[in-house]
Amino acid sequence: MVPQTGTLVVLLVATLASAAHAQVVRIGVLGLFRPTELIVSAVPGAAVVAHVGKQSFVIDNTSACRVATITSGPSGIDFHCGTTSARGDEITVTRREATAAEFFLGVPGKITRRYRGKLEIRSRSGVLISVVAMDLETAVASIVAAENLPNTPLEALKAQAIAARSYLLAGRGRHQEFDFCDTTHCQYLREPPGQSSPAATAARATRGLVLAYQDHVFAPMYTRSCSGRTHTPSELGMTHSAYPYFSVECRYCRQHPARWESRIRRQDLTELRSLDENARIIIVRRLGWDTIPSDDFTTRPEGGKVVVQGVGQGHGIGLCEAGARAMADDGADFHQILSHYYPNTAVIPATAEIPASH
């Protein structure tokens, strides 16, 4: 049974107005590339409509307008598709019924991804800002798929789904233009998984369930692999959150540590400090995310370089995905996994009456 604080009583009635149902989250995508040009196309067998100012254009694999090119210009956004062109301050892409669409969005020569939702494109200082407004459960399934390995047990995926849903409902406000980005700064998100996939199954099985502390939904943090014991934000120099994270033992990572080694320049060492998440983020944004994967490391000089040896992947706070997989393999259900990594919390239905902590 999940430990609870206080005297929270949840009434499960047929008329329960769930805040998690019919929710839409706005996620900024592909911003890491700072694109000045984007391409949009429809998935096979479907069509999407691009709205540019007062004009609308059908993008269809069977028509002359198959792939739309969108560029940031000095006086707005330029739209080109087949033999048609237009210019506007904003471009949106939907289905013909003005509802969520399936489409491909890409940065030429770099990356193309499939999304499901309503696409909004604006220009800021010459850079195209692309936002996908997607259904909450689509976002949850996409995050679960992106965060976990293909062989992850279903109960671990369910725990991840509840943590991701809680984060999406309680963690807004990290960006001005949208709710969340698609990087590890907010939520690691890629393409939506198929409806029969384990990630989508986990999202459906836990639909409407969130994680609460003292009757409040909070935005739980999670990490790919800890160093055998999870960290607290204060240990890493991070600000206090609505939930007082506890340092808990992770038996799997203790027995199977994820070790790594990197070599960096001596001048970069002045910016790098062990157990300092803010310092780590600053340096990996410049040197690459795989350079310093975690905050648990030691350093030693070697020639003209510095050898950095560490263990773990990510900040090590909250649910450890590697440990959750091992717990599920040993027979633990999602309640047991969540109560282990988030002590003194409760899994509850997300309702309009349950406030969120920020």
Residue 271's pLDDT is 82
Residue 350's pLDDT is 86
* CA–CA separation, 96 and 93 (whole Å): 9
Query: Do the Cβ atoms of 337 and 328 come closer than 8 Å?
Result: yes
Beta bridge partners of 113: 105
* CA–CA separation, 347 and 334 (whole Å): 10
* 86 C-beta neighbours (distance < 10 Å), count: 19
Query: Do the Cβ atoms of 244 and 214 come closer than 8 Å?
Result: no
Residue 187's pLDDT is 79
The rounded average pLDDT for each run of 10 residues, N- to C-terminus, in the chain (358 residues) is 34 34 85 96 95 95 95 93 96 95 97 97 96 96 94 98 96 87 82 95 97 95 96 90 94 97 91 87 89 94 94 96 98 98 96 54
Residue 239's pLDDT is 83
What 8-state DSSP symbol labels residue 238?
P
DSSP secondary structure letters along 154-219 = HHHHHHHHHHHHHHHHH---S-SSSSEESSTTS----SPPPTTSHHHHHHHHTTTEEEEETTEE--
Residue 1's pLDDT is 34
User: Residue for token digits 């969520």?
Assistant: 100
The alpha carbon of 258 is separated from its chain's Cα centroid by a whole number of angstroms, namely 22
